[in-house]
Amino acid sequence: MKIILLIAFFCIALYGNAQFNIKLVVSSIATKANEDIYVAGNFNNWNPADEKYKLKPFAGGRKNIVIKDIQPGSYAFKFTRGSWDKVECLSDGRTIQDRIIDVNEDVSQELTISGWKDDYPDKPKPYTASPQVRIMDTAFSMPSLSRKRRIWLYLPKGYAAANKTYPVLYMQDGQNLFNEQTANLGEWGVDECLDSLQRKTGKECIIVGIDNGADKRMSEYSPYSFIMNQQSIKAEGKQYVDFIVQTLKPLIDNKYRTKKGVEHTSIAGSSMGGLISLYALLQYPEVFGSAGIFSPSFWIASDCYTDAEKFSSKLNSNFYFYAGGKESATMVGDVKKMATILGKKNYNYRITTTIDPNGMHNENNWRREFPAFYLWLMNN
């Protein structure tokens, strides 16, 4: 019996460490077949021009790539010609959904590219922000980083006529929150969501959206230096969070009718924005009482778990974790690990973890999850 158990354990351990290969063969390309083609996905942080993921010529005029040593899991990807304005699309120019491949053995797929987005004239994106949204400043100073940034503001519909104070939620990637015109890959629809939920529940909130810094996003949203695709990313997360706490929040509290206490101040974001939102609460539990942590990029460094282990605030901190089952091989496990670490603390922390088995790493999924997070937040 012991021998059988040992063999079973060995097999489980062996499979748990298994790595497989993905072979993608593009057999037909609608146009521009002679240009360089790349694959971008959650296995390379959606880099559209990663030289290590450039397709090579293959027999019969086809192109292919073999992605080696991939852990079991679900992977999402698209083909590009080196940038997101040259991403593949459907034959009529419509956006193509992420391609999904499930890996639990070596996999080979033959695919076709029906079109490229830049083959179709761009229709002007509509301005979709509701009347409750305004630009507070197009170039707000960030002293801790010596930069400037656009700041968005959502005020409840009755704000001007009322004389009451409101809780505040600070959110990352401001350009993706309210307006399709400024969103890179689709907006969250935060304003429409709040317009609806606040009318139904009476639970009102001010939202402060901070634009990401484009090429500075990875640095500003990371508290830890790391290497990605052989490039060194310098940590600027501490300075970014300091900017919110020391510069932005005091101005918001001074200029608008806010509830200033920790129990009324929250922070949220997705991907790298989820990582920095968790870090903000861990570093400033006396400022942020709750954090919405959507699909966090815990993969960049194990230091985030060390910070969580050290966290010992006796305040009533609240954590809302969301992860999609089709984001990456490690996303769900990483989120559950973090929730478990924080759950072991002998303090009154409220931890909610939501897993969507079919969830992918994009704005559409975070938009779908946001109403549940907002209701959770308003019921703290």
d(CA 133, CA 183): 15
Q: Which residues lie closer than 8 Å to 4 by C-beta, 6 or more apart? A: none
Q: Which stretches within 212-362 are classed as H helix?
A: 217-220, 237-243, 249-255, 272-283, 303-310, 331-343
3-class secondary structure, 237: helix
Residue ranges of domains in the chain, CATH in brackets:
18-118 (2.60.40.10), 133-378 (3.40.50.1820)
**How far apart, in whole angstroms, are the C-alpha atoms of residue 296 and residue 233?**
17
Interatomic CA distance for residues 83 and 47, integer angstroms: 8
Do 36 and 84 touch, CB atoms closer than 8 A?
no
* 298 burial via Cβ count (<10 Å: 0-12, 13-18, 19+): buried
Per-residue pLDDT tens listing for the chain (380 residues): 544 444 444 444 444 568 999 999 999 999 999 999 999 998 888 899 999 999 999 988 899 999 999 888 888 899 999 999 999 999 988 888 889 898 999 999 999 999 999 998 877 889 999 999 999 999 999 999 999 999 999 999 999 999 999 999 999 999 999 999 999 888 999 999 999 999 999 999 999 999 999 989 999 999 999 887 677 889 999 999 999 999 999 999 999 999 999 999 999 999 999 999 999 999 999 999 999 999 999 988 889 999 999 999 989 999 999 999 988 889 999 999 999 999 998 788 999 999 999 999 999 999 999 999 999 999 97
Task: Give me the half-sphere count of Cα atoms (radius 13 Å) on the Cβ side of residue 91.
Answer: 5
